[in-house]
Structures are given as structure tokens and as C-alpha cells.
Copies of this chain bind each other. A is one copy, B any other.
Amino acid sequence: MKIGVLGTGVVGRTVAARLDELGHPVTIGTRDPGATLARNEPELDGLTYATWAADHRAVALATFAEAAAAAELVVNASSGLASLDVLRQAGAENLAGKVLLDISNALDFSQGFPPRMGVPDTDSVAERIQREFPDLRVVKSLNTLTASLMVHPETLPEPTSVFVSGDDAAAKATVVALLRELGHTDIIDLGDITTARGTEMIMPLWLRLMGALGSPAFNFKIVR
């Protein structure tokens, strides 16, 4: 399945590298590919995009619009605060009818730590995207765990849970199949796109757990 990953940060890179490894043709989308390749500031993984890309030659780099146009499934790996702008640049015409796997969170660190929620409790990034792009089939998932565990959940000592939220049953089935490819086994369908509020609002607890445990290498398992 041709996949476009919107976002060149560590989350986008991690997901793109793993999807490439699984055999999917992957293009990463960015605002300005030339500027991304020229950037000297390393990301949280310590690597500039160019250095990372040299080790992942099969992953293409293109504009948001080109990455979306070529893709059957699009992954929103941009910050939830920037996602609407990123998707506008991708272009509604390039997104229409496609599945969007939205893995973003909207945390506003502008006032320091702990961050504010970037979206009120009556809304979510996923719903904002779905409202503005009604022809896009938005599925929220994977926003509740760190990037390395999104793509390698088997590195934890036991199976854990992930969630899907969305209005389109076929799009959710496509995402669930992709999650299984990534190694997820307990995938809980929370319901329509409004249920994404629940997973987006888990971030404050997630951040405090990372602080208490001293590591982002954990995940929620729903024991029942």
C-alpha cells in the first residue's frame, strides 16, 4: 500500500522507516523538501533529516501535496497544533477518499510544563480534521504511546492495547490491518471520531508517567 507520512520529525521518521521495512512504498511529506534536507538542526533522535535519509534511501521525500497525492493511506505525523495547516498544504483534492491515520497530539508547551491541551474538551484534533476535510476518512490511533513502541510493541514484556476512533468502518478496518502488521494484537475500537477526545486527553497522564517512570518505554494495557 502506497503510504504518505506527513511530518519529518522523529515520529514521522520512525513510522516511515518501519512501514518501508514492512514493504510499503513510503513518501515523507514536508513543507519544502530542499529546506528539510538543508536543515542543520538535529531532531530529538540526534540526526538531521539528511543524515537520517542517507540511511533510509528507499523512503522518498516530497512536498505535503505530492506525498498525499501519491498515497493510498496518509499518516498525520505532524504536531496536532499544526495539523490543519499541514493538511491544507497537502490539499483537499489530494486527500479526498483516502484514509488518514491520525497519530497526532495537540500539546501546547508555550506556557511551559505541564502543557495545556491545544484543543478544548468538546473537540479533538481528529474531529477538527474530519470537519474540515469531510472526504478524508480519518481514523485516530497510535497517539497513546511513544513512536518506537507504535512500530515495535513487541519490545515491551507483554502485549498492550491500542485504540481506534473513526466514522468510516472500512477505513478503520484498513488501519486495524496495518496495526496488526506493526505487531499490535489488542486493538480496541472505541467508536466514532468523537471518541478520539478520550485518547487525546490521556496525554497529561502519559507525560506524568514518563516523568515518574523515567522513560517513555511504557504503554497502557486494558485488563478486563
- A sample of 19 inter-chain contacts (CB < 8 A) reads A121-B121, A121-B204, A156-B223, A156-B224, A163-B205, A188-B209, A190-B205, A190-B208, A190-B211, A191-B208, A198-B205, A198-B207, A201-B201, A201-B204, A202-B205, A209-B222, A217-B224, A220-B223, A221-B221
Residues of B near A46 (CB, < 8 A) are none
Complex contacts, A131 vs chain B, CB 8 Å: none
Whether A218 is near chain B, meaning CB under 8 Å from some CB there, is: yes
Cβ-closest 7 pairs across A and B: A198-B205, A218-B224, A198-B204, A221-B221, A198-B208, A195-B208, A190-B208
CB of A189 closer than 8 Å to a CB of B = yes
Total A residues in contact with B, Cβ cutoff 8 Å:
39
- Please list the residues of chain A having a beta carbon within 8 angstroms of any beta carbon in chain B: 114, 116-117, 121-122, 156-158, 160, 163, 188-191, 194-195, 197-199, 201-202, 204-209, 211-213, 215, 217-224
B218 contacts A223, C-beta separation under 8 Å: yes
Q: Which residues of B contact A198 (CB under 8 A)?
A: 204-209
CB-CB nearest in chain B for A160: B223
Chain A binding surface SS class? mixed
Smallest Cβ-Cβ distance to A212: which chain B residue: B190
| Cα separation A114 to B207 with both chains bound (whole Å) | 24
Q: Across the interface, do A224 and B213 meet the contact criterion of CB distance under 8 Å? A: yes
Q: Are A211 and B224 in contact (CB under 8 A)?
A: no
Q: How far is the CA of A213 from the CA of B187 in the complex (A)?
A: 12
CA distance A182 to B202 in the complex (A): 26
Bound Cα distance from A208 to B188, whole angstroms:
10
Nearest CB on B from A189, distance (A)? 6
Q: A116-B121, A121-B117, A197-B114 are in contact. Are A219 and B208 (CB under 8 A)?
A: no
